[in-house]
């Protein structure tokens, strides 16, 4: 049993088998003053890794910045990660039907929110937005890391119905934010098997530490006007406010290859961790 309370990882390996072990952390739901035991297990069989977790993070959570819709509750998560992922012919879009990744503390990454512009809904705010209940296909989906609050804690995590704690962005955990010697470690694995790194990498040509930069930028001008559109300037409220312009160091899925290893990188701006799946996501990540 490996104690990972507030651990700072260092491993750069993109092979999930390198993380095979049983992990545990004694943590506290701060707002509720309630103790939990985080459990996380990784095993491998040569072709894939099996991850089992109860979705409780490895740090004290639900701090004063949070407003969770439902109390955190332990889950029974079992996911399969391919050990030798391959890039697909075309990327797969992120969707509400699938979790995006599992972090190396047993918490899933779920970047797509169920909030959107829906002015006719009884729960709509003054701008016509609702935080939940939009379904898989909408024209203007809220960015949970944007101006509209989703009640996340300081780790960009909150709960969904049923009490599943999950991330909408940078977990602010598992890596040293000031890493300069080797670049950021692997902090999780996407559903397609490719690793997820923190924000830093070592430039192989110069040997210098660099910050991974998203290639997405806000669109210029204003949104369409009229029925069905929120209007106003593209300000990051909705994920449709962004477009991929190759402005940074990362591809459209928020990934790149360093020293022969492809991986996704945490970024300061949209899409924060992943923009799409470069490989083929494993069916075990499907929610329903």
21 sits in which H/E element: strand 21-29
Average pLDDT over residues 202-225: 95
pLDDT (tens digit, 9 = 90+) per residue, 33-92? 999 999 999 999 999 999 999 999 999 999 999 999 999 999 999 999 999 999 999 999
Question: Has residue 231 got a pLDDT over 90?
Answer: yes
pLDDT, position 112? 95
pLDDT, position 226? 84
| Mean pLDDT taken over the chain | 96
pLDDT, position 180? 81
Residues 6+ apart with CB under 8 A from 53: 39, 40, 41, 75, 77, 102, 106, 107
Tokens linked to 215: 């290639």
Average pLDDT over residues 192-206: 96
pLDDT, position 196? 98
Tokens linked to 27: 């943590």
Q: For the chain, what percent of residues have pLDDT higher than 90?
A: 93
pLDDT (tens digit, 9 = 90+) per residue, 153-164? 999 999 999 999
pLDDT, position 188? 98
Question: Has residue 288 got a pLDDT over 80?
Answer: no
pLDDT, position 271? 98
pLDDT, position 18? 97
Average pLDDT over residues 102-121: 96
Q: Which of 262, 273, 219 is nearest to 242 (CA)?
A: 219
Q: pLDDT class for 213, splitting at 50, 70, 90?
A: very high
Q: Which of 185, 209, 181 is nearest to 195 (CA)?
A: 185
Lowest mean pLDDT among 181-185, 216-220, 254-258: 181-185
pLDDT, position 181? 87
- Separation in Å, CA 216 to CA 118, 234, 256, 283: 25, 13, 14, 28
Domain ranges of the chain: 1-111+150-198+260-288
- Tokens 């997820």 correspond to what residue? 196
| Backbone dihedral angles phi then psi of residue 241, each to the nearest 5 degrees | -75, -15
């Amino acid at each position: 049993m490996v104690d990972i309370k507030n651990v700072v990882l260092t491993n750069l390996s993109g092979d999930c088998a390198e993380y095979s072990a049983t992990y545990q952390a004694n943590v506290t739901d701060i707002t509720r003053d309630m103790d939990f035991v985080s459990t996380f297990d990784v095993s491998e069989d040569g072709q894939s890794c099996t991850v089992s977790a109860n979705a409780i993070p490895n740090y004290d959570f639900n701090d004063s910045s949070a407003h969770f819709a439902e109390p955190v509750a332990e889950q029974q998560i079992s996911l399969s990660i391919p050990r030798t992922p391959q890039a697909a012919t075309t990327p797969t879009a992120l969707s509400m039907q699938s979790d995006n990744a599992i972090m190396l503390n047993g918490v899933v990454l779920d970047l797509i929110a169920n909030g959107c512009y829906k002015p006719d809904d009884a729960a709509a705010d003054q701008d016509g937005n609702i935080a939940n209940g939009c379904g898989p296909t909408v024209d203007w989906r809220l960015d949970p890391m944007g101006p509209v609050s989703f009640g996340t804690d300081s780790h960009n995590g909150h709960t969904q119905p049923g009490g599943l704690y999950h991330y909408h962005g940078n977990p602010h955990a598992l890596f040293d934010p000031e890493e300069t010697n080797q670049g950021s470690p692997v902090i999780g694995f996407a559903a397609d098997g490719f690793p997820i790194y923190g924000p830093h990498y070592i430039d192989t040509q110069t040997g210098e530490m660099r910050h991974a930069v998203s290639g997405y930028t806000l669109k210029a001008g204003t949104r369409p006007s009229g029925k069905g559109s929120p209007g106003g300037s593209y300000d990051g409220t909705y994920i449709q406010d962004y477009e991929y312009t190759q402005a940074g160091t990362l591809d459209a899925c928020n990934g790149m290859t360093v020293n022969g290893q492809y991986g996704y990188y945490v970024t300061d701006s949209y899409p924060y961790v992943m923009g799409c799946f470069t490989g083929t996501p494993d069916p075990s990540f499907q929610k329903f």
